[in-house]
Chains A and B, each alone.
Chain A
Amino acid sequence: MAVRASLFFLFLLLCSLLAAALYEDQVGIADWHQKYIGKTKQAVFHTQKAGRKRVVVATEENVIASLDLRSGDIYWRHVLGKNDPVDQIGITLGKYVVTLSSEGSVLRAWNLPDGQMSWETSLEVLKPSKSLLYVPANAGVEKDNLILVYGGGCLHAISSVDGEVAWKKEFSLEGFNVQGISQPLGGSIIYIVGFTSNSQVVVNKVNAKTGELLNHNSVAYPRGLSGEALQVSSDLLVALDAARSSLVTINFQASDISFHHMAISNLVQKSFVTVSLLPLNVNGMFAAKVDSTVVIARVKDTGELKVTEKINDPSCVSDAILLTEGQEAFAMVQHADNRIHLSIRVNNDIATEILKESISVDPQRGHAQKIFINNYVRTDRSHGFRALIVMEDHSLLLVQQGAIVWSREDGLASIVDSTVSELPVEKVGVSVAKVEENLLEWLKGHMLKLKGTLMLASAEDVATIQGMRLKNSEKNKMTRDHNGFRKLVIVLTKAGKVLALHTGDGRIIWSVLLPSLRESDVCDSPIALNIYQWHVPHHHAMDENPSLLIVGKCGQSSDAPGVLSVVDSYTGKELNSIMLAHSIAQVIPLPFTDSNEQRLHLIIDRNSYGHLYPRTPDSINIFLREMSSIYWYSVDAEKSMIRGHALKGKCDLDSADEYCFSSKELWSIIFPSESEKIATIATRKMNEVVHTQAKVNVDHDVMYKYISKNMVFAATVSPKASGEIGSATPEEASLVAYLIDAVTGRILHRVTHQGAQGPIHAVVSENWVVYHYFNLRAHRYEMSVIEIYDQSRAVNKDVWKLILGKHNLTSPITSYSRPEVVVKTQTYFFTHSVKAVAVTATAKGITSKQVLIGTIGDQVLALDKRFLDPRRTLNPSQAEKEEGIIPLTDTLPIIPQSYSTHSHQVEGLRDIVTIPTKLESTTLVFSYGVDLFFTRIAPSRTYDSLTEDFSYALLLITIIALVAAIIVTWILSEKKELREKWR
């Protein structure tokens, strides 16, 4: 009957529109969109043209953006592709931003005011190498300035007006690495200095107009060179020698190359461990970082070095800017407690700081990592400075006159992983102190509101009223709501910062730069990996806070030790952090919790030992009881194999660690390496809820779904076709999709798509898999669906047995029973290429599903699962139509209204996360990339709640009118009856 009712409901749905779009005025009610740019790599200011106070930045997320210097807002922004990192940035002719990207192979010019691309030139690159962009200083705007680009063994001169390549010069010398390009002022000669791999210093003299090689000179430096060098002036180069113990000054403009060499120990007058050169860009000066001290030295024309200043423990040093002729300034940042000290010095008087500012900075932003300065002329003709500071958490600050003018939380552009936490339960009894405070606040608020209504409020007051209204509005409250729409989205960024965002408006509730994931002596280069739910209280939800587990590791190598950190999800306080003794290969959250409701996590290290967390006697008891039914599998893409393991017992290591377990290999699937290479795997989400195990056909027949959380979808492609689309012919490309049981290693299903190639994106839910790939024969993208059914349960068809409960459908099942399975598949064309695929998740799993597709246009398309139903036929019967089966078409439709991102673009989209709400019909969708986008979708419309535009007043009026009518008619009838009786 329930099925029938749901069918009836589906029929109703069919009658209505397929797509559930929103009206223009509904945008922003349930969704929010935040734009970011990522960690700034380079910045150029342009304030020459007064009036437009902007800065152009290039970031690690391959974004070029123009920011407003007053507010930090984005004027324009371009997100280059994932494979197109910006290497260099410069300004030419005062109106173009020139960017060199993809290792010096693409040069683009963007119009400064509006960000439109004015030209693009692709340059030939012979071999990958360091790229250099040399934009000559404004020697005259009218003159056709040539931009010099060195990249991949070629020097190109490009006209800055239209991007035409004026000339090109190849340097085919083996191991040649350019260190500097210089063009003496107004000269027609360009010097290109570089080192070869065998410590030869090579100087090429090239005619600036024609590119003709005038002179070639090379001298070997007997002590060897480390390859690190700085160009300090138009004719001097400072380099580190091979032993990294002394500095070499190279004068290359003279007819013969001269060296001058000086031991660093002489410079600093002490022994040292590390040394590196810092770019300073001050004419005739350079900086070297020796251990933690920065040494600023002047290079005399003769090549002699003279230390002018030593500064201890600076965080970073900026490039120099030209103040007046011959006077250059640079900034330096030092840290003390929670304050940063910014000092600015000029080149002719290094010892004195012409400006010294101390700014208090949120400790959660960490240390300053980069600084860019810019000057302006004050009314009294003195120089003022503003500094753009990139912090450790990738945020961007603008500091001016000793205060932070604005800050941007750009770490959010590089989210690594995300999870969700519930908000605190609304408490009924509140303490007295809180009430008093609230009373005062309440009075204040009402005074303000009164002021507002009487039009007495100032602009500031209006802002506070607005803020209060926002805070008090239902969706932004800091407590749990009835529908479960209000939650905290907790994200972990690449910088090791954890931020909690409110789902109502996306504001940051708390943020913490995890101390365990910061660079320190114990942990050299920490990497943030994943975030998991550690503790979700149900029994004591009122007085216990949920907490999160953040997993990271120290260093790039596979045997780098892991770092665990537990963070309170309401306050962001780090409760505990452990530096692990073992490496982390996999983190497996187990479906068990201990008596404190902490989730058990099994961490597998590189040597296939399992480590149990939390390390409590309680958890180990639970784990030992369940150990025989816990399995794990590892995917080795290089060897093209999948291995299954079971846990054996205590570790056989020397140390007696109770929480360490050894494992044995149970099974392995080895794919033929000459024809198959693992491209992707996909599994069901652990928290997915399935409502029913039966699928009812049109003729009331039951198909039993094969619902197993241990089912793994793996896809392999032929090695030849593992590259980009078009790199292989259809004959040599093939794609094989597998459904594997991860417990027994049994291959449940295998299908080969001839002439298909990756990239493959797959999503698994309930008993189906949807995957997206490219069909080389049809020259189109395709999406396939596999539904898998358990045939061994199909015998349960006797109605009486089912009524009386004499069946085994709900008894626990084991993978070792080897159920017989059947699959249904279908394939469709799909127009878009895809960046990410996800599926909606609801609380009970009753609502029909939608597949969420992150398209190449950085939008999220919600496609009904009904379009991906293998039972679709060309001419469905009446009964099939009633059930909601759509006639088969070769292409999946893209309905413009079904974009859940509507008009927004989630630039650089990387992942889509779906979160169930308490309301069965609704799913929260959080998609992130460079931008963040959050919305709420209802795949079958909100059938379990009234829409927001429902007229409650009308309902109330109707009820009142009906009640009144009942009373009136009752009185009338009573009277009439009385009259009848008297008659």
Chain B
Amino acid sequence: MEKGKALARRWAVEFTEGTAATDVPDPLGFAARSSLDLEDANQSRQKKEAEANWKSQKAWEVAQSPFKNLMMMGFMMWMAGSTVHLFSIGITFSALWQPISALQSVGKVFEPYKDPRVDTLAPKLLFIALNLAGLALGVWKLNTLGLLPTHASDWVSSLAPAQEVEFAGGGFPIY
């Protein structure tokens, strides 16, 4: 997205250069504006189209980027194994955290490609879907590590033992 911004600014710079060239005022009755306008409009439309094209292309690229991440994460998880220790816990929590933070900043990620002519909804949806898949992977890993309370045992352990209604005492007589 940094790249895209820089490109846009360069266009603007060229534009100011163009105005700088017309420092000298036109002579009276000079009506070249219309032709220039026509040419100019043509040029700018082309330019805008290219920009839109480029923007949508980039948006798709950005939308697909979590996939790489996903593969990477999957490999790391496979490496980490299924026993609970520092490494596997770290990997799992980063696998959970990355999609969540990415999901939080969906709007920001697609901000540079905002254009009335560009449809960013589809890439956004893909981006969200891929991140959700990443999240699901993280949760699945959490489960394989056994850190999810999905068993009855996880809920029963914290219950205090039941009270007894009756009380009985006694034993050998003390004599």
Contact = CB atoms under 8 A, between A and B. Distances in A.
Do A and B pair up? The answer is yes
Contact of A11 (B84, B151, B157): B84
Interface in A25-44: none
Contact of A814 (B146, B150, B153, B164): B164
B158 to A, nearest CB: 6
A427 interface: no
Nearest to A557: B175
B157 A644 contact: no
Given A693-B156, A799-B152, A812 B164 contact: yes
Contact of B153 (A602, A637, A700, A812): A700
A585 B174 contact: yes
Interface in A586-602: 586-591, 602
B18 interface: no
Nearest to A645: B170
Contact of A796 (B83, B147, B152): B152
Contacts of A809: 156, 159, 162
Contacts, number: 158
Interface string B138-175: 00000000111111111111111111111111111111
A637 B166 contact: no
B166 to A, nearest CB: 4
A635 interface: yes
A243 B68 CA distance: 113
Contacts of A262: none
A40 to B, nearest CB: 28
B159 A635 contact: no
A629 B159 contact: no
B84 A702 contact: no
A980 interface: no
Nearest to A555: B175
B171 A700 contact: no
A692 B159 contact: yes
Q: Please indicate which of the listed interface residues B147, B154, B161 has the most CB atoms of chain A within 10 Å of its own CB.
A: B161
Given A1-B147, A798-B152, A710 B168 contact: yes
Given A630-B167, A708-B164, A814-B165, A702 B173 contact: no
Interface residues of A, number: 68
A124 interface: no
Contacts of A584: 174-175
Contacts of A742: 168-170
Nearest to A584: B174
Contact of B154 (A3, A553, A707, A798): A3
A586 B154 contact: no
Given A635-B171, A796-B156, A882 B166 contact: no
Nearest to B163: A812
B149 A1 contact: yes
Nearest to A605: B173
A693 B167 contact: no
Contacts of B166: 629-631, 710, 743, 814-815
B136 to A, nearest CB: 20
A629 B150 CA distance: 39
Interface string B116-135: 00000000000000000000
Interface string A616-644: 00000000001001111111110000001
Given A681-B171, A809-B162, A694 B156 contact: yes
Contacts of B172: 635, 637, 681
A8 B84 contact: yes
Nearest to A814: B165
A941 interface: no
B101 to A, nearest CB: 24
Contacts of A811: 162
A530 B174 CA distance: 9
Contact of B159 (A606, A708, A810, A815): A810
- Interface size band for B: 20 to 34
A434 interface: no
Contacts of A529: 174
B151 A799 contact: yes
A4 interface: yes
Contacts of B163: 812-813
Interface string A795-819: 0111100110000011111110000
A802 B171 contact: no
Contact of A707 (B83, B151, B161): B161
Contacts of A681: 171-172
A741 to B, nearest CB: 8
Nearest to A686: B169
B168 A4 contact: no
Contacts of A690: 161
Contact of A743 (B152, B168, B174): B168
B174 A587 contact: yes
Contacts of A812: 162-165
A530 B153 CA distance: 42
B95 to A, nearest CB: 18
A961 interface: no
B154 A1 contact: yes
B167 A591 contact: yes
B162 A810 contact: yes
Interface in A5-20: 7-8, 11
B164 A694 contact: no
A635 B173 CA distance: 7
Contact of A709 (B159, B164, B170): B164
A443 interface: no
Given A586-B174, A742-B170, A2 B164 contact: no
A558 interface: yes
A590 B166 CA distance: 11
A447 interface: no
B60 to A, nearest CB: 37
Interface in A743-788: 743
B152 A585 contact: no
A815 B152 CA distance: 25
A701 B153 contact: yes
A645 to B, nearest CB: 8
A696 interface: yes
B156 A702 contact: yes
B48 to A, nearest CB: 37
A683 interface: yes
B164 A696 contact: no
Contact of B173 (A7, A558, A799, A802): A558
Contacts of A702: 151-153, 156
Given A8-B84, A710-B168, A700 B151 contact: yes
Given A530-B174, A707-B161, A644 B153 contact: no
Interface string A635-668: 1110000001000000000000000000000000
B170 A633 contact: yes
A1 B156 CA distance: 11
B167 A709 contact: yes
Contacts of B159: 692-694, 809-810
A417 to B, nearest CB: 10
A879 to B, nearest CB: 10
By CB atoms of chain B within 10 A, which of A629, A690, A694 has the most? A694
B157 A586 contact: no
Contacts of A633: 168-171
Contact of B167 (A606, A631, A637, A803): A631
Interface string B17-45: 00000000000000000000000000000
Given A681-B171, A815-B165, 12 more contacts: A4-B84, A4-B154, A591-B167, A629-B167, A693-B156, A694-B156, A694-B157, A694-B159, A702-B152, A803-B155, A812-B163, A815-B166
Lowest 8 A-B CB distances belong to which pairs?
A588-B169, A742-B168, A802-B155, A633-B170, A700-B151, A694-B156, A631-B168, A585-B173
29 contacts: A2-B157, A4-B154, A558-B175, A585-B173, A586-B171, A606-B175, A630-B167, A633-B170, A634-B170, A635-B173, A636-B173, A693-B159, A693-B162, A694-B159, A702-B156, A705-B161, A707-B161, A710-B166, A742-B170, A796-B152, A797-B152, A802-B152, A802-B155, A812-B163, A812-B164, A814-B164, A814-B165, A815-B165, A882-B83
